[in-house]
Every structure is written in structure tokens, then in C-alpha cells.
Structure 1
Amino acid sequence: MSESATFGGGCFWCTEAAMKELGGVQSVTSGYAGGHTEDPTYREVCSGQTGHAEVVQVTYDPEVLAYDELLEVFFATHDPTQLNRQGPDVGSQYRSIVLFHDETQREQAAAYIDALDSEYDDEVVTELAPLETFYRAEEKHQDYFEKHPNDAYCRMHAAPKVEKVREKFAAKIGEA
């Protein structure tokens, strides 16, 4: 049995690379969600006019990896206090967002976000919204970090997130 979770925490290349490290993750797909434009392109999303965020959809085995563990990794690999930005990426398409698939995910994410507020000096601004439609990003954006590990952006931004997951969540890596 598989379940899905959808997160946006800046550039989807970074979030995808971090999530793929976890045991129990069956697939991670980069895409767009949370906006109003049907079947948007990368260029359209980057314009900031579609309302969509760059997100990843994680398909996972809940017998191996729980949703709250995905939330833990998601929040550990981006700054949820940054409004409409992560690192060098600026715009609403890079906002921190959890798109829930059902009421249980909504409740778990809301509780997690509430608990996080006490850990930061600044307010956690992560958006919590129902997933309406997920649009798969163009093929060149899938597995980007794997395909381009020496790309300057990947070395500077994705690689540190992958390393953080490997160090902080080593027990969750390799579980199958």
C-alpha cells in the first residue's frame, strides 16, 4: 500500500533530492500545485503569475515511513519562516507549503506547524492547503540533482540538504 504527500519548500530540485534519500520512499515527482493556471509550464510558474508553487509529490510506504517523519524531514531541509523565498530563490512559487491529501494529513501538518512556532524566533509562514491538482513538471526537472550533481546550483543548495538528511536521518535511510 502506498500513500502520497505533497510539499513545497523552495526549488523542487532540492526537496526532491532530500526526500529521495529516505527508506520507504517509492518515488518523488517534481511538479506544480497550489495555483490557478491549468497545466502550467516551468517558465509560467517562474513568472509568479500562476499562483503555483514548485512542489514535490512523494509516494511512500506508510508501513516503513510515517507522514510525520516526512514532515520532520521537510521542515528540517528548508526555512519555514521565509515568506516566498528559500535561499537565492525569491517569489511565491518558492513558498513553504504543505498540500494535504486528506483530513489526517491536515491535522498532522497543522499540529507540526503549531509545534514548530516555538522553535523559531520568527513566525512559521508555511501555508497549509488542500491539494487540488498536482501538475508534473517537465521531464528535464525530474531527478535533476541525480542527473546534474556538479551543477553549481545543485552543489550549493541541493547537496547540503542531501547531506543534512544523510546525517540527521541516517536511521531512516535504507529502510525498505
Structure 2
Amino acid sequence: MKKEIYLAGGCFWGTEKYFESIPGVLSTEVGYANGGTENPTYEEVCYNDTGHAETVKVEYEESKIGLPYLLELYYDAINPVSVNRQGGDIGQQYRTGIYFTNGADEPVIHDSIKKLQEKHREKIAIEVKPLLNYYRAEEYHQNYLDKNPGGYCHIDTDQFEKAKHAADVSRIYPKREQDELKKSLSDLQFTVTQNGNTEPPFQNEFFNEFREGIYVDITTGEPLFLSSDKFESGCGWPSFSKPIDAEKLIDVTDKSYGMVRTEVRSKNSDAHLGHVFKDGPVDKGGLRYCINSASLRFIPKEKMEIEGYGDYLNRL
């Protein structure tokens, strides 16, 4: 399904180029949004205090990229606590804003902003409003950096590279409903991943599995750990020195059973995986990810290509 969102993030030349680089974005257009005049010109927006924000209209394919992930990428390209300024550009037209046309998007946006605020001490300056008005900018502003490759841009080049390779794992490895998980998982797998239980040590599937391969989230198939980072810890559960990507996991303080530990969950599926401790091999970073076998599915090296994990073969 094609959806749209309007994003203000400073000078729209670079902001448009950034969003058009993201897989799943179908089209972009620059314009002036939520101001107090009709059909403004660029000069009027810059010098006549029209109240418009330089804005990018983003059309995207929801089956390939969801709004929460698109907003995360947006936050990466802006300073979210800066008021009326992005990079060297100063003025109300350079404010940050998320403007929606579908009321169903509003709670999604506010939830996203709430999570962003938790990462910042200063107040988030991004305004969230319905799209009140929008006027397409002059033709020479459309795809400006494609027409002028050396033109001004306030976004770092590494952000463009990240945008080109962005992948919304929630679409690639979608989270499944509880009823579906109950049917597809064993009782142990369900209670461990959904209820935070722990399987017995030394009596689980992968504690002594040391073949080459990849370990994926049992609930979604998302890659989490590689055999090259697995080691024998003697604890009775699979132990890894690091995940494939730390951004795929979230840490949660666990005060159960009279202890204070750090629980590890899958960010995408919210499945309980295990715990992480600081008693791992020093030469590998000093961490020990103690993970339940019931949270994982192991795919041996010889089957990785056919199961769609061939891109990880050179990392074993």
C-alpha cells in the first residue's frame, strides 16, 4: 500500500536527496508546508515570515518500509532538539516537523517521538501536526542535488550511504501474533520467548552445538548471532561474545529472583532471548550473551545460502 508523510528537516535540497535514497521510498517532492500564505515563492518563505517550513513529501510502500522505521531514519538526518535551525541554516522555514494526512499515523508518530525523547535530555523540537497546507516548490528546487551534484547540503555523506542500505527488519522479518506463535512454537519456545522463562542448563538444544552457521530469532527468522562468536563458557547455555548487530537487541534491567541482571530481548520481535554478563572473554570484548536455545533456530553453514542467509557466509 502506498502511503505518504510530510517531513521538514532543514534545507529541503539535502533532505529530499536523503529520503529518495531509502529503499521502499517511491517518490519525493519538495515544497512549503503549514504556513500562513497561499502559493508562496522561495523568496517569500525565506524573507517574508510566511510561517512555511521547507518540507519533503515522501511517498513510500508500506509493505517494504513502515512509518516507525522511516521516522528513525529521519531522526538520523536531523538535530531533533534544535529550534529553527539545521546545520548552518537558521530560520523558521528550517524547523523540523512531521506533518500527517492520515489520522491513524498520529499515535504512531507520538509514540516514536516519545521513544526519541528518552534518548535526549533536551526537549525534542520536532513539531507534530496534521498537514494544514502544502505548496509544491519551484521546479529548480525539485531533485536539486541530482541537477547540481556539488550543491549545498547540510547532511553528512555517510548518512546518504546509510540511507541507501537501510532495511526495515519489521517488514523483512515481521513480528507474529501470539496465536500464531502458539501454533508454530513448542511450549518451551513459547514460554521462553513470550513469558521470559529460562530453559534448564545443559539440557537444551544448542549449548554444545559448535558447527559453523547462523543463529536466528525463532519467532521471526531475523539473524542474531554467528557461530564464529560462540564460545564454551561452561554455563550450560549457548554463549556468544557479541551479536551480529547490537542494534538488533535491547537491554532491560531484570530484578527477578532477588538479582539485578541485564535481560536481552530482540528489538524487532520483543522476544526474550536471555541475559548478558560482563564475564566473557576479555580478548573478545569481555561480554557473555547467555542465550536460551529455545529462543533460537540454528542454520548450519551448508544450508545458509538456500535459506536466504548467504550474505553472512563470509563472516563465519
TM-score (norm: length of structure 1): 0.89
The separation in 2 between residues aligned to 1:3 and 1:63, in whole angstroms, is 10
Deviations 1:48-88 (A, max 9, x none): 51110000001111111111121111111101100000011
> Structure 1 CA distance, aligned partners of 2:48 and 2:106?
26
SS of the aligned residue for 1:110 comes to helix
Greater helix proportion? 1
Within a 5 Å distance, the mapping from 1:91-170 to structure 2 comes to 91-151=91-151, 153-154=152-153, 157=155, 159-166=157-164, 169=166
Question: Aligned partners of 1:122 and 1:142: how far apart in 2?
Answer: 33
| Residue in structure 2 matched with residue 87 of structure 1 by the alignment | 87
Mapping of residues 45-84 of structure 1, within 5 Å: 45-47=45-47, 49-84=49-84
Q: Secondary structure at the match of 1:93?
A: helix
- Structure 1 residue 91: deviation in Å? 0.6
Describe the superposition over 1:134-170 as per-residue Cα deviations: whole angstroms up to 9, x where unpaired: 111000000011111112x23x646343134246x2x
Cα displacement (A) at 1:103: 1.8
- Percent identity between matched residues is 38
Q: 1:90 to 1:166 in 2, by over 3 A?
A: same
Distance 1:93 1:160 in 2: 25
Counterpart Cα distance in 2 of 1:97 and 1:33: 10
| Counterpart position of 2:20 | 20
- One-letter code of the match for 2:159? K
Output the amino acid matched with 2:68.
Answer: D
Give the partner amino acid of 2:74.
F
Q: Give, as a single letter, the amino acid of the residue that structure 2 aligns with 1:163.
A: E
Letter of the 1:60 counterpart: Y
Q: Secondary structure at the match of 1:119?
A: coil
> Gapped runs of 5+ residues in structure 1?
none
- Deviant stretches of 4+, over 3 Å: 156-161
Which 10-residue stretch deviates more, 27-36 or 61-70? 61-70
Shift of the 161–41 alpha-carbon distance from structure 1 to 2, 3 Å rule, reads farther
Who is 2:310 aligned against?
none
Larger radius of gyration: 2
Name which structure has the greater RCO, CA cutoff 8 Å, separation 6+: 1
Equivalent pair of 1:17/1:158 in contact (CA under 8 Å): no
8 Å contact from structure 1 (residues 53, 95) kept in 2:
yes
Q: Secondary structure at the match of 2:78?
A: coil
In structure 1, distance between residues paired with 2:19 and 2:159: 10
Conservation of the 8 A alpha-carbon contact between 1:30 and 1:137: yes
How far residue 11 of structure 1 moved from its aligned partner, in angstroms, is 0.6
Count of matched residue positions in the alignment of Structure 1 and Structure 2: 169
**Cα pair 2:77 2:155 within 8 Å, conserved:** no
Report the equivalent of 2:184: none
Q: CA deviation at 1:133?
A: 1.8
Query: Structure 2: which 5+ residue stretches go unaligned?
Result: 172-316
Whole-Å separation in 1 of the counterparts to 2:64 and 2:162: 20
